[in-house]
A = this chain, B = another copy of it.
């Protein structure tokens, strides 16, 4: 149960006080970013005085990736200019909330990443508080606390990129859920289709590309489809409008349930242009009562720092030092 696992995390203790540093890691399929995240005083905004990126070289397998992370964290520890309160990790794949291991990862992208005991290995090596979460969850928490939705109590983050992820913030804290798998918005039903298809198949970048190929026989990039849509290509217009419309209807459903302060959209699909944005907003407004129609739907503000800041924030939240 989530309550138990949360208690497990919360029993971690730190002797650090402000100013403090969290060493934060963002593990992706192609690169691993490590940063020192500095908090000068209690409640103060984080800054990133030091950051590096190293190639994941995921095809070496999960064991090697984990050791690369250990070395990168070690380097980060050496660059901290204050006591280190702990380590925050946001990673590709689904993360078990109970032990911070990888429950699931796409084998073709990160072979052998599933099953890796990320938290246990880092704890063994460094012996300081650890918090491990999904990279989209980290991104969402970063944007909600310090980015485009700064200070929001309730916030929905939707991230249509190659895939389709999301994160939900309630009471100012990320919702991880019983297993740690909360935020799987891409796996929900495609609202344009009464059949079995999921939202990711229409609203994500890979979905847009696949649908365009179905219609035209051509496999081209999402950016090219956006360009063609702008120039009037009917098939391109349709798949981009459908992507925005599906996401807008899905968002409306979650807004009816969450009544958020703000919604954040991020990811490559948000660059699809005015056609996508118009379809998103129009569909959203058509599926909520008037009182919810003026919701702020904003674009992410922290760029690639969001997961680093989010994972760091989750570490502080888990220590009861996050201000929520």
Contact = CB atoms under 8 A, between A and B. Distances in A.
Given A154-B182, A175-B171, A261 B1 contact: yes
A184 B192 CA distance: 21
A291 B1 contact: no
Interface of A, secondary structure class, is loop
A151 interface: yes
Contact of A257 (B153, B183, B193, B291): B183
Contact of A259 (B3, B6, B181): B181
A230 interface: no
Interface string A167-194: 0101111011111111111011101111
Contact of A1 (B152, B170, B176): B152
A258 B180 CA distance: 9
Nearest to A175: B170
A178 B154 contact: yes
Contacts of A6: 153, 171
Q: Which of A2, A6, A152, A252 has the most CB of B within 10 A?
A: A2
Contacts of A260: 177-178
Contacts of A173: 170-171
A171 B254 CA distance: 18
Interface in A151-168: 151-154, 166, 168
Given A170-B175, A259-B178, A152 B289 contact: no
11 contacts: A1-B152, A2-B152, A2-B261, A3-B152, A103-B291, A170-B170, A179-B259, A181-B259, A187-B288, A189-B252, A192-B194
